[in-house]
Amino acid sequence: MKRLFCTMTALVCLTGCATAPSPAPPVSVPLTCSCKAAPLTDDPALTGGRFGVRGDRLVLTGYDDDWARVLGLYDTASGEIVKTTLPETDGSLEICGFDWRDGTLTVLTASSGRETFSGYTMGYLVYDDTLSLVEERSADPGWDAMQATLDWRVLPDGTEVFSRTDGTYLYDTDGIQKITDSSGDLALSPDGTLWITADGGHPQYLDPETMALVPIGMDDLPKSHYNNGGYYDGIGDYALLCTDDTAIYGLSPETGKKSELVRFSDSDLVEASGIAALPDGRFAVRSFDYFDLATQLLLLTPRTEEEVAAIRTLTVGALQFDQEMQSRIARFNRQSDGVRLVLKSWLDPHDTKQSYEAAQQAYFEDLLAGNVPDIVLIDESYQVLANKGLFEDLRPWMEADPDFHEEAYLMNVLEACSYRGRLERIPFRFAVECDLAKTSYIGDAAQLEAGDLLAMDLPADMAYLYSGLGKAEACRGLLHRAAGQFVDYAAGTCRFDSASFCDLLRLADTIPDGKLPEGDWCYRDDRVLLDDVGLARLDDLHREHEVVFGNEDITLCGIGCEGAVWPICCTAVTSVCQDKGAAWEFIKFNLQKEQQYSPTGHASGFPVERAALAEMLAASTVPHGEHDRAAVTMDGVEIEYGAATQDELEMLTAYLDRLHVCILRDPKLDAIVEEEAGKLFDGACTAEEAAAAIQARAEIYLAEQK
């Protein structure tokens, strides 16, 4: 079936697993190079531009709501910020660099006309410590105006350094001197040595005697990753600071040593795309929040040994963490006083020799052996692990918490994830796998049975299911939604040899050979009855309604159930958790409205909190301007579609309230069903014979898992 785009934690089921031994102590992950992170400023106008420490001031730049350039000055001792907007020009205005000395801030700017670009006009803006403009003068030493200035620094003796697209230059009272054809970022050591990171490579320093550039001469330098990585002004004993996607390092070229100063995973941030060292040992860091999809400026304060020793740590384990979950954990840590969550991943993205399958296997085996974290992200094979008694029932925590109000949530969705009467895992969001059909064919029947579908009197050339799926994939998707009717993990039994499962096999076998062309009109033209869809936003339903079904009346439905919940960020607390109250606080934190939906983010899935869900759905009905209409091609014809309608919003809201079944995915059962059903699809057996074979093999597998 069509797969939802959301990525889930995957686990491999093992055959013949013995009963797990008594639980071992939770996985321990010590804090290393840890800092406490806090917002440096909540002003979004000061988080998007370049920034850096000059003396005892941190200079901040950015844009306001009208995209005008904004300048800020942060007093590193008092924490006070003053802000101003740069003067307007007849074109765009760029900040190329800044310098703070003798109580004044000098900013190098470049402006260019929007209408007729004829090069850059350089200028200096000089401000006092209140950011009142005291001087404005030209800064054109006579070079090619078509070359952009990338960076600008002032050396201790007053010599200016310009990094431009055609090279790097020194400029003083003696004029201009080009020192290299390369250009890049500029940085200064505490002793005033100039470093140039040319063309994105390793830095070189300027030898003042020979005026030649000399490589850094160090091995094992951090490697950049995506937008992380770079070289910055040094501090103390470090000539330079640098980053990769995991940490901040101090470099000492004289000794050839690299020291890890800040580890991001232990310091409440996901990554850093810019850093600046404050004189008192703190760091200003520009990071990115993958939930809000927004930059943020954080102030990192190194934790003392006593502070680290006093922190109660809980370990969150997963096969791997996506960036959104890392942002969620970092958010929780920044607002938590005594408890910190640390991450334990079984799949190391930096280990090129480790296979995904081996990490899956190790994760599952560790959990079965009782070598478990305090909190785990769990999806596939959850029932197998739950049978070992690994997880805490969270329902009593809900009922005992005076701040948790069930009416604020889609409890039907949360309850759909329960097992054996216990609510051991809670999704922070969810998607839905369901079907759509024209109301003229099925009426308002939301739950369809395979046998009833097969008995329908359809037009001769109309198929039940989309032929592009393929029989095996369609059968697997049907099983994921309906498996709860046929499998009882707690009892270790199944009923695949039932008439209803045989009907499911027959339904999958009706899919015609071959595939329809991409974007075929099959639903508009009444050639296929059911469209299997994954819904993660109201826009998904609207696109199906307006484009696929041509705005005809449609019914949201499902085979064997009205539709199935696909849990996202499914979180469980283990039975050996050292602080179950703190673990519950983490879950409750992520169920808050602010953590459920962000207007600036791109949410993959529906919030389980009702107010956040209502806000998210309502946002999809509001046109956003000239670019609001999207377009898709159907059967060679381009179709535009706009914002969702209020009727679609109400249809989806009512539908989500009725869901009570959770997707059940078990790779081992999938393989059994696919192999035996394949014989039916090849014409080698009947549905009853395939079902009997599935029943026999599944019974053995389930008995081994009990």
Rg (CA), the chain: 30
The per-residue pLDDT of the chain, averaged, comes to: 88
Mean pLDDT on 637-661: 91
CA distances from 231 to 185, 202, 234, 286, 560 (A): 8, 9, 9, 14, 58
Tracing tokens 């390092």 back to the chain, one arrives at 249
| CA 483/CA 694 separation, integer angstroms | 13
Around Cβ 592, how many Cβ atoms within 10 Å?
13
Give 668-705 pLDDT, tens digit per residue. 899 999 999 999 999 999 999 999 999 999 999 998 87
pLDDT of residue 14: 29
- Predicted confidence band at 628 (pLDDT cuts at 50, 70, 90)? low
Give 337-381 pLDDT, tens digit per residue. 889 999 999 988 777 888 888 998 899 889 888 888 999 998 767
CA distances from 383 to 387, 398, 412, 422, 584 (A): 6, 22, 19, 11, 21
| CA 650/CA 456 separation, integer angstroms | 29
| CA 327/CA 603 separation, integer angstroms | 13
Residue 527 falls inside a structural domain: yes
Q: 310, 333, 354 — which closes off a domain?
A: 310
Following DSSP, what letter does each residue of 33-45 receive, concatenated? S-EEEEEEE--GG
Residues 54 and 196 grouped into a single domain: yes
Residues 304 and 449 grouped into a single domain: no
Mean pLDDT on 498-524: 83
| CA 577/CA 564 separation, integer angstroms | 30
When comparing pLDDT for 219 and 255, which is higher?
255
Residues 245 and 114 grouped into a single domain: yes
pLDDT of residue 29: 65
Q: 310, 326, 356 — which closes off a domain?
A: 310
- Largest CA-CA distance found in the chain, in angstroms, rounded: 94
Give 465-476 pLDDT, tens digit per residue. 886 778 888 888
Q: Return the DSSP state at 422.
A: B
Following DSSP, what letter does each residue of 349-417 receive, concatenated? TT-TT--HHHHHHHHHHHHHTT---SEEE-BTBHHHHHTTT-B---HHHHHH-TT--GGGB-HHHHHHT
| CA 566/CA 588 separation, integer angstroms | 20
Which pair of tokens denotes residue 88? 């307007």
Q: Is the pLDDT of residue 625 over 60?
A: no
Mean pLDDT on 483-512: 91
Tell me the three state secondary structure of residue 296: strand
Q: Which residues contact 95 (CB under 8 A, 6 or more apart)?
A: 49, 50, 61, 69, 71, 86, 107, 108, 109
| CA 168/CA 266 separation, integer angstroms | 38
Q: What is the CATH number of the domain that holds 158?
A: 2.120.10.30
Please, are residues 656 and 432 in contact by the beta-carbon 8 Å criterion?
yes
Residue 421 falls inside a structural domain: no
Residues of 316-336 as b/e, b for ≥16 C-beta within 10 angstroms?
bbbbbbbebbbbbbbbbbbeb
Sheet with strand 149-154: strands edge to edge: 149-154, 160-164, 167-172, 175-180
Give 120-155 pLDDT, tens digit per residue. 889 999 999 999 999 999 987 777 888 999 999 999
pLDDT of residue 66: 82
CB-side neighbour CA atoms (13 Å) of 238: 21
Q: Is the pLDDT of residue 591 over 60?
A: yes
Q: Return the DSSP state at 608.
A: S
| CA 496/CA 491 separation, integer angstroms | 15
| CA 366/CA 333 separation, integer angstroms | 26
pLDDT of residue 11: 32
Following DSSP, what letter does each residue of 80-92 receive, concatenated? -EEEEEPPP-SEE
Residue 329 falls inside a structural domain: no
Following DSSP, what letter does each residue of 208-220 receive, concatenated? TTT--EEE---SS
Find, among 605, 601, 598, 593, the residue nearest to 569 by Cα: 605
- Predicted confidence band at 627 (pLDDT cuts at 50, 70, 90)? very low
Which pair of tokens denotes residue 192? 């005033």
Residue 575 falls inside a structural domain: no
Residue 387 falls inside a structural domain: no
Mean pLDDT on 423-434: 96
Residue 331 falls inside a structural domain: no
Q: Is the pLDDT of residue 23 over 50?
A: no
| CA 672/CA 41 separation, integer angstroms | 56
Please state the domain count of the chain: 2
- Predicted confidence band at 495 (pLDDT cuts at 50, 70, 90)? very high
Residue 579 falls inside a structural domain: no
Q: Is the pLDDT of residue 409 over 90?
A: yes
Which pair of tokens denotes residue 290? 């993958």
Q: 310, 344, 361 — which closes off a domain?
A: 310
- Predicted confidence band at 516 (pLDDT cuts at 50, 70, 90)? low
When comparing pLDDT for 590 and 624, which is higher?
590
CA angle 319, 323, 325 (to 5 degrees): 70
| CA 161/CA 168 separation, integer angstroms | 7
Q: What is the CATH number of the domain that holds 496?
A: 3.40.190.10
pLDDT of residue 583: 97
Q: Which structural domain, as residue segments, surrounds residue 457? A: 433-563+661-705
pLDDT of residue 27: 59
Residue 248 falls inside a structural domain: yes
Q: What percent of the chain has pLDDT over 90?
A: 62
Mean pLDDT on 531-548: 93
pLDDT of residue 351: 79
Work out whether strand 375-377 and strand 312-318 pair parallel, antiparallel, or are unpaired. parallel
